[in-house]
Structure 1
């Protein structure tokens, strides 16, 4: 039996368009994710939820959260880490293709970080922001004249990003609004910090093989896959308990506890299933979107 050929030029064009759609959509989705736009959106959404819990405004901070995340992470990704080839093969393979996009995002987000404080009458923020971003530039890059990187700090690497981001999302807006940290602010801070720590530990769990090979000492490298899974289960349980407390205090909707219980369960199950790096990374970031989704549904 011979091969069937389209009977007209129109049919050929239709088939070509249909065959090209998945590849075009896949490339766009991968680019959006690898350029850290999803991560920046997740962090910004989580910050807005935290501010709602504390009953402080987030509109003046959100652009800096979004642009700051894009600036730090895309500037960091411009430097190829030796472990990337093994830990995140897709990001490594796409590094040259996305380099111009990363560079553009670095310049654009840097401009937003520099201009936004001036537009909102907070020019005093420029100095601390410059210090923070200047320091974080050496997360994967060696310090000038040496070989030390921030991610080489033993075991603290797993907690550095969660602590820095939690301070930006919770402590900074609270202090800027004139609120002295009380039990409510501390509760929200701990809740946000643990969510971010779970996210970070999942990424470090994903990177155990490459980090071991290159000598990066993270908490998952120290504990190994099995005990890291146990630690993540404990942290997930604490997040659920804190969510119950937030609901009891009427700071969060009861649905928050249910959503985070299911989200953490799916994430823990995915670790057992030996999911490939990119889908696992997406799941870890989706966990950070859940609180904002619950807040939106509760309106």
Structure 2
């Protein structure tokens, strides 16, 4: 049977991109007053403060376009609502003691992984009616491991600010050394998943990421001094 190329749904691509932008922008703009953001990324924080009104208008435009896209692809509404709910729950004080989910150890990395899986897999699958299969499950596992590795590396960079702000990331809880090896192990595991899938593009991405980690290991571990 002849294989027909899969054409990407441009509406879903736009929708996923805008939701990623809105989720990230909401989190960054919500945390502008937090000490961790000021310490970890002063240039970004100062830029957002100086251009706050512009960002509000930009996000409003993104919301309008997203709503139009949702009307065109109503099957995506439920996973989108899940994305919005998780993003809000991460930053808002919804817990009984007045804390947000970001104050729970390990939640930050896990939530980032879940959000990306929803945006890049669940929404397209729901809209297109694609069924679960071994390659899709493998792809989700690969993406989850890669994102966990990258998100954790960003947390290593932000260790000082997160520690002062009481954000319990992996490097804050277990230390930079263990966090570094967590990223190394997860990216190697992702590479193995890519090999199992027989997708050598994914394998090459994993190999390049692993080499990059090893070459920069001395810089990362300097933070221990």
TM over 0.5, shorter chain: yes
Match of 2:45 in 1: 92
2:192 matched to 1:241?
Answer: yes
Question: Partners in 2 of 1:242 and 1:124 — Cα distance?
Answer: 30
Kindly provide the CA deviation profile for residues 231-278 of structure 1, in whole angstroms up to 9, marking residues without a partner as x. Answer: 1111111122122223x3xxx3x3542343123321443353149xxx
Q: What SS is found at the alignment partner of 1:96?
A: helix
Match of 1:261 in 2: 207
Structure 1: tracts of 5 or more residues without a match: 1-53, 276-299
Match of 1:75 in 2: 26
| Residues 117, 123 of structure 1: 8 Å contact kept | yes
Question: Partners in 2 of 1:77 and 1:232 — Cα distance?
Answer: 23
Kindly provide the CA deviation profile for residues 72-121 of structure 1, in whole angstroms up to 9, marking residues without a partner as x. Answer: 11122222133112222222232322212321221111112111122x2x
| Residues 76, 126 of structure 2: 8 Å contact kept | no
2:159 matched to 1:204?
Answer: no
Question: Partners in 2 of 1:77 and 1:200 — Cα distance?
Answer: 15
Question: Partners in 1 of 2:128 and 2:76 — Cα distance?
Answer: 14
2:63 matched to 1:110?
Answer: yes
Question: Partners in 1 of 2:44 and 2:213 — Cα distance?
Answer: 21
Question: Partners in 1 of 2:98 and 2:162 — Cα distance?
Answer: 16
Match of 1:157 in 2: 108
2:87 matched to 1:136?
Answer: yes
Deviates most, 90-99 or 136-145: 136-145
Alpha-carbon deviation of 1:183?
A: 1.5
2:177 matched to 1:226?
Answer: yes
| 1:172 paired residue among 123, 128, 153 | 123
**What count of residue pairs does the alignment treat as equivalent?**
215
Alpha-carbon deviation of 1:190?
A: 0.4
Alpha-carbon deviation of 1:71?
A: 1.1
Deviates most, 264-273 or 91-100: 264-273
Kindly provide the CA deviation profile for residues 195-219 of structure 1, in whole angstroms up to 9, marking residues without a partner as x. Answer: 1111211111112222222221122
Change (3 A) 1:180 1:124: closer
Greater C-alpha Rg: 1
| Residues 180, 220 of structure 2: 8 Å contact kept | no
Deviates most, 232-241 or 163-172: 163-172
2:11 matched to 1:60?
Answer: yes
Question: Partners in 2 of 1:245 and 1:117 — Cα distance?
Answer: 35
TM-score if structure 2 supplies the norm length? 0.82
TM-score if structure 1 supplies the norm length? 0.64
Question: Partners in 2 of 1:255 and 1:64 — Cα distance?
Answer: 25
Alpha-carbon deviation of 1:130?
A: 4.0
Deviates most, 91-100 or 68-77: 91-100
| Residues 84, 210 of structure 1: 8 Å contact kept | yes
